[in-house]
């Protein structure tokens, strides 16, 4: 008899949970702000705090038989429920399954945590949670699935606080790079002189965003540090209005990111023309627009539901759903 599945995307600031049917379709989704740094339960023991938080969100799901539970994200970090060692890059779904970390309670296996992925070298890289989204993207989109089968190298972007760009070949994460674009934007706009004259806008100022992209492309060799002050000087010279400054800075930073990414692309053979983006619609739309400027020959696709599809696939690959015995 197949086991039911509960899947968790447990990050720093939020917790999302899904309950699936036997075909891998989510029957119900729940969300809360109970990330690993904001647990609603106080306890001297970390295990108890995480377990009671899980019960608070998914209590009746846990009581329905003996469900398999799988989790990804920062729940597997050193500050999470249980530290899950990174799987080495290159990493296939099978490699992720091999490195699943078990969390036991009362002497019984309670859930499995998907490992992150690390890349060693002079500039080490790590991801935690994005590997599951990448697995999900490969099975969520027919175009990506076919390109993967054809042996093409896929470029998958995950815009966010720390944007990730992964190169995937034959279902394996073979390389990836991190750009701290989101965090730098937040820091510059909230904690430097640049943001002092920003004013809110009712809608995105796309002309200002596009200008930021153009300035980044024209001045990338001089570097980001040489261009960001133009966010202020263009305002002082009357070239930017206060409500345009934030979008100009956004375009400037994303533009420099894509210029840096182009160097990585040029070192990679047989890249598919289809680029996948995973993230919020608002942020992905900015990257779509930027790609149309920097790489108009590429088709940019926004992938939906990648996390829940990836969690299901990893659980299925691990055999967590095939029987009711303790795994």
DSSP assignment of 63-108 equals TSSS-EEEEESGGGSTTSSSPPPPEESSB-HHHHHHT-EEEEETTE
Spatial separation of the C-alpha atoms in residues 291 and 299, rounded to whole Å: 9
* CATH number listed for the domain at residues 5-141+307-317: 3.30.420.300
pLDDT for 284? 97
pLDDT for 23? 85
- Taking 70 as the pLDDT cut, the residues of the chain under it are 1, 323-327
Spatial separation of the C-alpha atoms in residues 127 and 156, rounded to whole Å: 13
pLDDT for 322? 83
Q: How many CB atoms lie within 10 A of CB 78?
A: 8
Model pLDDT for residues 133-168, shown as the tens digit of each residue: 999 999 999 999 999 999 999 999 999 999 999 999
Model pLDDT for residues 95-137, shown as the tens digit of each residue: 999 999 999 999 999 999 999 999 999 999 999 999 999 999 9
CA neighbours closer than 13 Å in the CB half-sphere of residue 53: 28
By C-alpha distance, which of 86, 69, 68, 67 is closest to 77?
86
Domain extent listing, the chain? 5-141+307-317, 178-302
Q: Which two tokens stand for residue 74?
A: 């920062």
pLDDT for 139? 93
Compute CA 111 distance to the chain's CA centroid, rounded to the nearest angstrom.
22
pLDDT for 313? 97
pLDDT for 42? 84
Would strands 117-119 and 87-88 be described as parallel, antiparallel, or unpaired? parallel
pLDDT for 324? 47
**pTM over cut 0.75:** yes
Architecture of domain 178-302: 2-Layer Sandwich (3.30)
Alpha helices (H) in 158-205, listed in sequence order: 181-191
Do 5-141+307-317 and 178-302 have matching folds? yes
pLDDT for 202? 95
């Amino acid at each position: 008899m197949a086991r039911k599945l509960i899947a968790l995307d447990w990050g720093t600031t939020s917790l999302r949970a899904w309950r699936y049917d036997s075909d891998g379709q989510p029957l119900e989704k729940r969300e809360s702000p109970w990330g690993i740094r904001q647990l609603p339960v106080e306890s001297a023991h970390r295990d108890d705090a995480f377990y009671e938080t899980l019960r608070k969100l998914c209590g009746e799901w846990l009581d329905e038989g003996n469900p398999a539970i799988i989790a990804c994200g920062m729940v597997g970090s050193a500050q999470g429920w249980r530290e899950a060692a990174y799987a080495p890059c290159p990493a296939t779904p099978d490699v992720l399954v091999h490195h699943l970390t078990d969390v036991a309670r009362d002497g019984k296996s309670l859930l499995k945590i998907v490992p992150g992925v690390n890349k060693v070298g002079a500039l080490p890289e790590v991801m935690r949670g994005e590997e599951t989204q990448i697995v999900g993207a490969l099975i969520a989109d027919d175009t990506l699935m076919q390109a993967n089968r054809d042996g093409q190298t896929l470029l998958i972007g995950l815009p966010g606080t720390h944007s990730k760009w992964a190169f995937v070949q034959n279902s394996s994460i073979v390389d990836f790079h991190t750009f701290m674009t989101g965090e730098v934007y937040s820091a510059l706009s909230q904690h430097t002189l640049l943001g002092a004259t920003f004013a809110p806008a009712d809608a995105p100022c796309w002309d200002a965003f596009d200008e930021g992209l153009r300035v980044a492309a024209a001045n990338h060799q001089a570097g980001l540090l040489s261009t960001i002050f133009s966010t202020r000087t263009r305002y002082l010279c009357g070239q930017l209005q206060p409500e345009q400054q934030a979008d100009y800075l956004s375009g400037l930073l994303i533009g420099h990111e894509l210029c840096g990414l182009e160097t990585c692309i040029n070192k990679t053979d047989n890249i598919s023309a289809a680029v996948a983006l995973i993230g919020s619609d608002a942020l992905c739309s900015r990257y779509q627009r930027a790609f149309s400027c920097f790489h108009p020959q590429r088709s940019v696709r926004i992938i939906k539901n990648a996390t829940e599809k990836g969690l299901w696939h990893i659980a299925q690959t691990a055999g967590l759903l095939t029987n009711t015995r303790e795994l």
